[in-house]
């Protein structure tokens, strides 16, 4: 009986070692925010009143993406919260003006955890 207890304790001790946690949903994950952020964010005007955002994303388990926009020095507002499968967002509320610059920012999220953000400007 003593040997069985020792074997169980050794097994439990070895299974409790520090593990690399690469699931952003895990509140104890060890990923740095920049490791699981979106990348290669691009913005292009498609018409007088629309712009298309595209980006890439790695192979992390996430819930989706949050996209924010501000104009010039204005307040940042959330444009959308979209699912993890999407890699494109069409902003239909831009205006054609030499004086307005759009600043887009986005990050990935998994539950209450969020990645680092990525940003781009569009004139």
Residue ranges of domains in the chain, CATH in brackets: 35-122 (2.60.40.10)
List pLDDT tens digits, range 83-113: 999 999 999 999 888 899 999 999 999 999 9
How far apart are the C-alpha atoms of 108 and 11, rounded to whole Å? 36
How far apart are the C-alpha atoms of 21 and 30, rounded to whole Å? 5
**pTM score over 0.95:** no
Residues in the chain: 123
List pLDDT tens digits, range 40-67: 999 999 998 999 999 999 999 999 999 9
The two structure tokens encoding residue 60: 């992390």
pLDDT at 75 over 90: yes
pLDDT at 2 over 80: no
Q: What is the dihedral of CA 85, 118, 70, 47, to 10 degrees?
A: -60
- Mapped onto helix, strand or coil, the DSSP state of residue 94 is coil
- Mapped onto helix, strand or coil, the DSSP state of residue 72 is coil
Q: Which residues contact 28 (CB under 8 A, 6 or more apart)?
A: 21
In the numeric block, the tokens 């926009």 are attached to 69
């Amino acid at each position: 009986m003593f040997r069985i207890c020792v074997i169980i304790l050794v097994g439990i001790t070895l299974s409790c070692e520090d593990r690399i946690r690469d699931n952003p949903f895990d509140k104890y994950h060890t990923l740095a925010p920049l490791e699981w952020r979106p990348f290669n964010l691009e913005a292009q005007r498609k018409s007088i009143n629309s712009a298309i955002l595209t980006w890439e994303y790695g192979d992390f388990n996430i819930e989706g993406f949050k996209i924010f926009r501000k104009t010039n020095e204005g307040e940042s507002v959330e444009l959308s919260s979209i699912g993890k499968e999407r890699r494109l967002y069409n902003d239909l509320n831009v205006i054609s003006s030499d004086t307005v610059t759009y600043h887009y920012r986005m990050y990935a999220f998994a539950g209450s955890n969020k990645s680092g953000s990525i940003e781009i400007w569009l004139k």
